[in-house]
Amino acid sequence: MSSCGLILIHAPSVYDFRHKSILYGPISDLVPSTPVFEMYPIGFTSIAEYLERNGYRVRIANLALRMLNDPNFDVEASIAQMDTAVFGIDLHWLPHAHGALEIARVVKRLHPNRPILFGGFSSTYFHRELAQRHEVDFVMRGDSTEGPILELMKYIFSGGQAQPHVGSAEHRQLKAVPNLVWKDSEQQVHVNPLSHCPQNLDGLLLDYSHVLKSVVRYRDLANFLPFRTWISYPITAALSVRGCTHNCLTCGGSAYAFRKLHGRQQPSFRKPEELANDIRRVSRFSRGPIFVLGDIRQAGEEYANRFLDAITGFKKPVILELFNTAQPKFLTRIARALPDFTIEISLESHNDLVRKAFGRPYSTEAIERTIASALDAGCRRLDVFFMVGLPKQTFESVMATVDYCGQLISRYTSNSDKRLAPFISPLAPFLDPGSRAFEEPERHGYHLHCRTLEEHRQALLAPSWKHALNYETKWMDRNAIVSATYEAGRRLNLLKGEFGLIESHIAAATDKRIARAIALDKEIDRILTIDSLPERQARLKDLKAQVETSNLSTVCDKRELELPMHGHRFRWISVAQVVLQEMWKDGCRYLSGHWERWKTIME
């Protein structure tokens, strides 16, 4: 048995993206990662810490980032050198449907006797389809899989087989692992009850120092970085909740989706005092902003006040989400506790009817009062997000949303105050599986082009994001969604440049990228009308260099999302302390191993 218990592998969206010409469009403009989606899920960190705490070594292998950073990185050679008892691959976000499965095939070919475990939201939804694939041995369902994975690790390390004989003791052991999907020796798929759904997050510890220790232990920084630009902008996350109290129509993390996929009847919250401790722990090593995932008011006013009491005096940058309107008193309370705070609001549309159809409960008038109160309270920045591809939304409605952004900018921006920042992006490439829109598309005005995992895997190979979209609406087809996205992005970019929210050269560069993307979209459509498949492929390949210059920061410069940072990004003394402690432990383990071997020889 390998000394390493589990290697968690994060795959790129499309496995062979380095060789394909795909116009990804603006699908990742408003997230830290690139269109390759190289940012691994936060669950990697919590799973690794939990298993390490219980005696199992865990490594993270961010193959997506390695492939992105190095065109010559040999994926197969890297996987061949890996030595572990279990390989874990995340299929959390559906845009990884191609890369995750292709990486699994490579792992199974190079390590045929090692089990492969899948997990994540999309794995949970497509668990039966996944389990039927040759390269997949186990699927772990649920939103809190740390405990069940520990039970599976105990089974593997006790000598248990991935596909036990029917009726054997091993067969009975696997049946007892909660949330597990597995196959027996006759290839029959077994779906164990979804019985592990903890009602609190007390056993969870989001400890980023574990990542630092692992970097030292394995002499490996490249595989542990969360996304491409993290060293220059080390934003981290603090987890307040698993689950949600809201029901946004297309969200795979909505209350509806959590009930359907994970059996979660109500959200599970991190204790507010522990959430504050998580934030302080992160700040020991990093000076970057900390993003609190989830509106801190979801558990009620008492929870929010306890958190703010516990975090009072913390002067580093913290980003908070608002899922609903907020009273001035609450925003002033935040300002006292967190003097360097940023607010993010997903307004989605300027139109109350569109927003209501999507699942946001507030009116434009009410959220405008919240925006004004947040700025009055002194928030460092206020980001407002809008979306293209919503129910009841037409091309004209999207343009009206951009006009509304202009009104907001005009109202709240001056030469000395440029804190309000609006953004707009497409709902792309997929509706989330498990969301209300995915489950009942026609009822909500959507039409789905893909339903199965395999259909989504194939869609990711389309030559442009327009042809990868798994949906259209009654109000906009794929062409209209793409056209509205580019035109909205162009207009909003020009507004930002006009009002000085971004520098003029950045606005000009973004405008050129949008124009180039529009031209490429038309050229790709023209190429797809060519009858000869070899000629189509050749023409698409000829576009690769141009496509790659249009795939990043399409409708806005990604750096617009970043909060200004000055000076050192990390607290190097604290980092050095962790490094030296881990080096000391490594040295002690090395000497202990030699001592045990010497005693054996002497005996």
Helix (H, G, I), strand (E, B) or coil at 318: strand
Residues 402 and 259 in one domain: yes
27-55: average pLDDT: 94
CATH of the domain at 376: 3.20.20
- Residue 183's pLDDT is 97
**pLDDT surpassing 50 at residue 597:** no
pLDDT digits (tens, 9 = 90+) for 77-130: 999 999 999 999 999 999 999 999 999 999 999 999 999 999 999 999 999 999
- Residue at 210 is within a domain: no
Among 132, 166, 191, the domain boundary falls at: 191
> Considering the chain, what is the average pLDDT of its residues?
93
Q: Binning pLDDT at 50, 70 and 90, where does residue 584 land?
A: low
pLDDT digits (tens, 9 = 90+) for 515-557: 999 999 999 999 999 999 999 999 999 999 999 989 989 999 9
Residues 434 and 513 in one domain: yes
The two tokens of residue 158 are 């006790």
Give the residue from 152, 265, 135, 150 showing the smallest Cα distance to 198: 265
Total count of domains within the chain: 3
Q: Binning pLDDT at 50, 70 and 90, where does residue 342 land?
A: very high
335-361: average pLDDT: 97
Residues 378 and 290 in one domain: yes
388-403: average pLDDT: 98
Rounded Cα distance, 595 and 603, in Å: 12
- Residue 206's pLDDT is 76
Residues 526 and 587 in one domain: no
Rounded Cα distance, 260 and 265, in Å: 9
Q: What is the sign of the dihedral through the CA atoms of 143, 146, 147 and 152? A: positive
Rounded Cα distance, 527 and 441, in Å: 31
Residues 403 and 451 in one domain: yes
CATH of the domain at 79: 3.40.50.2300
- Residue at 293 is within a domain: yes
Residues 456 and 576 in one domain: no
- Residue 368's pLDDT is 97
Rounded Cα distance, 182 and 204, in Å: 26
Rounded Cα distance, 89 and 93, in Å: 12
Q: Binning pLDDT at 50, 70 and 90, where does residue 184 land?
A: very high
DSSP 477: -
- Under 8 Å between Cβ of 240 and 270: yes
Among 166, 191, 216, the domain boundary falls at: 191
Residues 601 and 541 in one domain: no
pLDDT digits (tens, 9 = 90+) for 475-485: 999 999 999 99
Higher pLDDT, 530 or 575: 530
- Residue at 98 is within a domain: yes
Among 134, 163, 191, the domain boundary falls at: 191
Q: Binning pLDDT at 50, 70 and 90, where does residue 2 land?
A: low
The DSSP-derived string for 42-88 is THHHHHHHHHHHTT--EEEEEHHHHHHH-TT--HHHHHHH---SEEE
Residue 240 CB neighbour total at 10 angstroms = 26
Question: Which residues share a beta bridge with 345?
Answer: 322, 384
153-177: average pLDDT: 95
- Residue at 226 is within a domain: no
Higher pLDDT, 569 or 216: 569
φ, ψ for residue 189 (rounded to 5)? -85, 130
Q: Binning pLDDT at 50, 70 and 90, where does residue 514 land?
A: very high
Domain coverage including residue 263: 234-561
**pLDDT surpassing 70 at residue 257:** yes
Residues 50 and 163 in one domain: yes
Q: Binning pLDDT at 50, 70 and 90, where does residue 590 land?
A: very low
Query: What is the percent of the chain with per-residue pLDDT over 90, rounded to a whole number?
Result: 87
Q: Binning pLDDT at 50, 70 and 90, where does residue 601 land?
A: very low
DSSP 96: G
Residues 121 and 145 in one domain: yes
- Residue at 215 is within a domain: no
Rounded Cα distance, 440 and 394, in Å: 20
1-13: average pLDDT: 87
- Residue at 218 is within a domain: no
- Residue 495's pLDDT is 97
Q: Could you give the dihedral angle defined by the CA atoms of residues 199, 205, 211 and 214, in that order, rounded to the nearest 10 degrees?
A: -100
**pLDDT surpassing 80 at residue 600:** no
Query: What is the percent of the chain with per-residue pLDDT over 70, rounded to a whole number?
Result: 95
Q: Binning pLDDT at 50, 70 and 90, where does residue 602 land?
A: very low
Higher pLDDT, 586 or 176: 176
**pLDDT surpassing 60 at residue 5:** yes
Rounded Cα distance, 93 and 122, in Å: 6
Cα 315–chain centre separation: 27
Rounded Cα distance, 545 and 515, in Å: 16
pLDDT digits (tens, 9 = 90+) for 291-339: 999 999 999 999 999 999 999 999 999 999 999 999 999 999 999 999 9
- Residue at 199 is within a domain: no
Residues 525 and 443 in one domain: yes
220-230: average pLDDT: 88
269-289: average pLDDT: 93
Q: Is residue 592 packed enough to be buried (19+ CB in 10 Å), middle (13-18) or exposed (0-12)?
A: exposed
Give the residue from 306, 309, 278, 271 showing the smallest Cα distance to 292: 278
Residues 151 and 241 in one domain: no
- Residue at 455 is within a domain: yes
188-206: average pLDDT: 92
**pLDDT surpassing 50 at residue 598:** no
- Which of 327-336, 349-358, 517-526, 561-570 shows the lowest mean pLDDT across its residues? 561-570
Residues 178 and 116 in one domain: yes
- The CA–CA distances, whole Å, from 114 to 61, 62, 517 equal 16, 19, 44
